[in-house]
A and B are shown apart, each in its own frame.
Chain A
């Protein structure tokens, strides 16, 4: 089976700082993969390059074998990559259903259409997607009055609108209560199981990561130091050093200076 997402030797520098330094990995179909690492490890930079917000300094990103390096976010989305944001980016002036309908309108290439009423378009499809995330009963509420956890679920429904092969989720449970986190990640793994979609997510909550991820990658100082199953990663001495403080960071600092 070939990889859905393949990243080859990705590098991004900001001035003299190598934020991401030669990262390579693959995400297989139906895989729920986590990308973790301490603050400043390069997770967000890495993610932003996959999503097209940042152009890599060098390296390649392949989606289903096709090169998507440096393409804008909207082009990457068209090729079947959905995404959710760390800070939700929903349309506050629309209802819950309309938020999903908007993504569907774009997916069906009806953005420039001027004749139909938008609120009637693809409503059934939108309701079905809202049902997947358990938000169907709130379909006609104004998005602006939703609780944060509900916004996160709504964003997940939006991300599923173009029937993606790959979902990129940037800190999906950030800012949520513990119970909500568990629910959202359970929902995500259900989606992976039922729809065969692959998910790559970054996360700070280790409980979430070790409970749900099939595979875990650890990034430190822009370099991938581990990529494997939970047990392997847990027992990896380098990972233990990074997370439990073997002094690597500090020593490295002196060496650099």
Chain B
């Protein structure tokens, strides 16, 4: 009994930081409709600033003062982010905003590394709250009790702010209809900035307040963000009470999970989320999102036509050039190009649902890594011939996409993105924690291709044929009735439904196809490396794919392939630089603001301007 109560208290104490971060994210989303992926980074900054300040300011007053000050500093940083990164892209499609905030994550990561160094920092303990209290015989840290006491006051404070003050009224009004609030004479820019300050400050507070329990390290930004997303999705986007209930639920669950089923703590969180969403698709306290017409924000996509003679000749020459590589260059360049082709196929599969379908998936790595792991597991445990295991990769990934797709497709927009992310995290946590089966962090090794494919050059040709085949297949699907129908569901779901098209089933099919082809890329990957590790399933992997599609050009057909080829080529050079994340982050933010058409889109515009390419007036 004592143990049980102690566990419950630890869970409640852990909920404090989670709630602070989640309520900030929820608040920002409610008003600005922006999912701030950099919210975890603000939490991390809160922790670092907290340590620095606590080392300067002495005593209990210094300790608590540092926490408040950290919150204020991080709030101001949030204001800077809002004014310089997000303000220019409020009218852009949500994907642009998400990518911009991802750029911010990279920048903050390297800035934190620059300022505080790579070593983990231990948080100082709270003056006067350093010991433990015995409750039913079990030791409970005093600081935990303090946190449990503080959290309801923060909730109350937020509730008072939202329900009782003029600012709160504006925030609530903006959550419902920001255009109307603007029309009534409220300066929206400052309202958004204000909300960003508050939301960021909450994240900073969360980071600082957890210091005595956790400390600060450079991984805490991405570590908390998936938990925060789970909390926000379970609680309902934009709902503060929802964030509180879900934080408590998840934290308590985690603590009990650690004690009773230590192998599946991470999995448990995502299972709970899936169950909640099955019953209430918009979270416990969430309201149904009005599904807008996707892909309609900003400039509409151009009509498409299969490549003409010039385009096909160009591709043919390129392919001949690639086929000639083994005769002209070293093994190293073959390995490099193998990697590039795999990345291109993966990006192309994401682009199919992202651009053509308007379905912003944030967890596409689940199908890449899922396919790779499926093949690797078959080889490791059943000694299946490589050829069969390779075919199993797209099959397994496709099946996975069918199962996850069933949950995700019913939602749209941001909810869809969050849910795809959460499912990919579910797969990642399964692989990461099921050590006996997957080897956990040690991965699966010795997954080599069959004898006849084992040479570098042979495998290079194999990848060239399969990978390029997959890319061409996806490209053709865009021009086939299925691709057109998918585009129709994106352009106007209403018209599609009114002309006999089952929008959900079409999107589901496309989701499965994209998953299967990502799995194909995963299959190529695992046999080219001979091993697979959980990092191929991480959030970062999904983001990489999003970023290359974005760099290449979202509103184009070839953007993913071009972006991936570009990125993989420079990555080798770029990652040798010490602060490459900073550079990449700034480049991403720059592209979002200055050249949102991406590489392909910008080239197209230039060639239209100088008259090399027909304009959109007539398509013959």
Chain A positions within 8 Å of B, measured between CB atoms, are 51, 72-74, 77-78, 83, 85, 89-95, 98, 101-103, 105-107, 110-119, 121, 140-145, 158, 161-162
- Among B482, B484, B506, the residue within 8 A (CB) of A94 is B484
Query: A118-B484, A141-B617 in contact; A72/B497 too (CB < 8 A)?
Result: yes
Point out the residue from A73, A94, A105, A121 that lies within 8 Å of B491, measured CB to CB: A94
26 A/B residue pairs, CB under 8 Å, sorted by A: A74-B499, A74-B501, A83-B498, A89-B492, A89-B494, A91-B488, A92-B301, A93-B300, A93-B302, A93-B491, A94-B303, A94-B484, A94-B491, A95-B303, A102-B499, A105-B484, A106-B485, A106-B500, A111-B485, A111-B501, A114-B476, A114-B482, A118-B481, A121-B481, A142-B302, A142-B303
On chain B, the residues within 8 Å of A94 by CB distance are: 303, 484, 487-488, 491
Is B619 positioned at the interface, with any CB of A under 8 Å from its CB?
yes
B60 to chain A, nearest CB (A): 55
Closest A-chain residue to B617, C-beta based? Answer: A141
A117-B479 in contact (CB<8A): yes
B480 at the interface (CB under 8 A from A): yes
B295 touches A (CB below 8 Å): yes
Question: What's the nearest-Cβ distance from chain B to residue A134, in Å?
Answer: 18
On whether the beta carbons of A119 and B499 are closer than 8 Å, the reply is no
Contact status A162-B500, CB under 8 Å: yes
B509 contacts which of A73, A92, A112 (Cβ < 8 Å)? Answer: A112
Q: In the complex, what distance in Å separates the CA atom of A74 from the CA atom of B502?
A: 7
Q: A93-B300, A98-B484 are in contact. Are A161 and B619 (CB under 8 A)?
A: no
Give Cα A253 to B506, complex, Å: 48
Known: A105-B484, A119-B479, A141-B619. 6 other contacts (CB 8 A): A72-B497, A89-B495, A90-B491, A93-B304, A119-B305, A142-B617
Q: Which of B293, B295, B480, B488 contacts A116 (CB 8 A)?
A: B480
- Find chain B residues with CB under 8 A from A143 CB: 303
What's the Cα separation between A144 and B487 when bound, in Å?
A: 14
**Restricting to B473-528, which residues have a CB under 8 Å from any CB of A?**
476-477, 479-485, 487-488, 490-492, 494-495, 497-502, 506, 509
A89, A107, A113: residue with the most chain B Cβ atoms closer than 10 Å: A89
CA distance A97 to B605 in the complex (A): 24
Q: Are B497 and A114 in contact (CB under 8 A)?
A: no
Q: In the complex, what's the smallest C-beta–C-beta distance from A209 to chain B, in angstroms?
A: 24
Known contacts: A93-B300, A142-B617. The answer to whether A74 contacts B500 by CB under 8 A is yes
Produce 1/0 per residue, B452-481, CB < 8 A to A. 000000000000000000000000110111
Give bound CA distance, A119 to B306, whole Å. 9
Give complex CA distance A155, B436 in Å. Answer: 59
A92's nearest neighbour on chain B, judged by CB, is: B300
- Contact of B506 with A111 in the complex, beta carbons under 8 Å: yes
Q: Most chain-B CB neighbours within 10 Å: which of A78, A85, A90, A119?
A: A119
Report chain B residues within 8 Å CB of A89: 293, 492, 494-495, 498
Chain A residues whose CB sits within 8 angstroms of the CB of B305 once the complex forms: 119
B620 within 8 A of A: yes
B296: Cβ under 8 A from any A Cβ: yes
**Minimum Cβ distance to chain A for residue B566 (Å):** 25
Residue of B nearest to A91 (CB): B491
Chain B residues in 8 Å Cβ range of A101? 484
B616 touches A158 (CB 8 A): no
Contact partner of A95 (CB less than 8 A), chosen from B482, B485, B502, B619, is B619
In the complex, what distance in Å separates the CA atom of A114 from the CA atom of B474? Answer: 10
Q: Which residues of chain A come closer than 8 Å to B498, judged between CB atoms?
A: 51, 73-74, 77, 83, 85, 89
Check A106 against B300 for contact (C-beta < 8 Å). Answer: no
B495 touches A140 (CB 8 A): no
Sorted nearest first, the 4 A-B pairs with minimum C-beta distance are A93-B301, A89-B495, A118-B484, A92-B300
Closest to A118 in B: B484
Given known A89-B492, A158-B495, contact A111–B481 (CB-CB < 8 A): yes
In the bound assembly, the distance between CA atoms of A121 and B495 in angstroms comes to 19
**Whole-angstrom distance between the alpha carbons of A150 and B58 in the complex?**
73
Q: Are B500 and A77 in contact (CB under 8 A)?
A: yes
**CA of A158 to CA of B501, assembled, Å:** 13
Is there an interface contact between B495 and A90, defined as CB atoms closer than 8 Å? yes
Cα(A91)–Cα(B482), bound, Å: 15
Q: Are B479 and A118 in contact (CB under 8 A)?
A: yes
Task: State the CA gap A116–B485 with chains docked (Å).
Answer: 13
* Nearest-Cβ distance from residue B301 to partner chain A, whole angstroms: 4
Contacts of A105 in B (CB 8 A): 481, 484-485
Q: Using Cβ atoms and an 8 Å threshold, which residues of chain B touch A144?
A: 300, 616
Q: How far is the CA of A77 from the CA of B616 in the complex (A)?
A: 32
Interface centre among B293, B479, B487, B495 (most CB of A within 10 A): B495
Q: Are B484 and A92 interface neighbours, CB within 8 A?
A: no
**Nearest CB in chain A: distance from B282 CB, A:** 20
Give the residue of B480, B487, B620 whose beta carbon is less than 8 angstroms from that of A91.
B487
What's the minimum C-beta distance from B309 to chain A, rounded to whole angstroms? 16
Specify which chain B residues have a CB less than 8 angstroms from the CB of A118 in the assembled complex: 479-481, 483-484
Give the distance to chain A from B381, nearest Cβ to Cβ, in Å. Answer: 34
With contacts A74-B498, A142-B616, A161-B499 taken as known, whether A112 is within 8 angstroms of B482 at the C-beta atoms is yes
B483 → chain A closest CB, angstroms: 7
- With beta carbons under 8 angstroms apart, the residue of B304, B480, B616 that contacts A115 is B480
- Report Cα–Cα, A106/B476, bound state, in Å: 19
* Cα–Cα distance between A142 and B490 once the two chains are bound (Å): 16
The chain A residue sitting closest to B483, CB to CB, is: A118
Chain B's closest residue to A109 (CB) is B500
Contacts of B616 in A (CB 8 A): 142, 144-145
| Cross-interface CB contact of A141 among B301, B477, B487, B618, cutoff 8 Å | B618
Q: Which of B301, B302, B497 contacts A74 (CB 8 A)?
A: B497
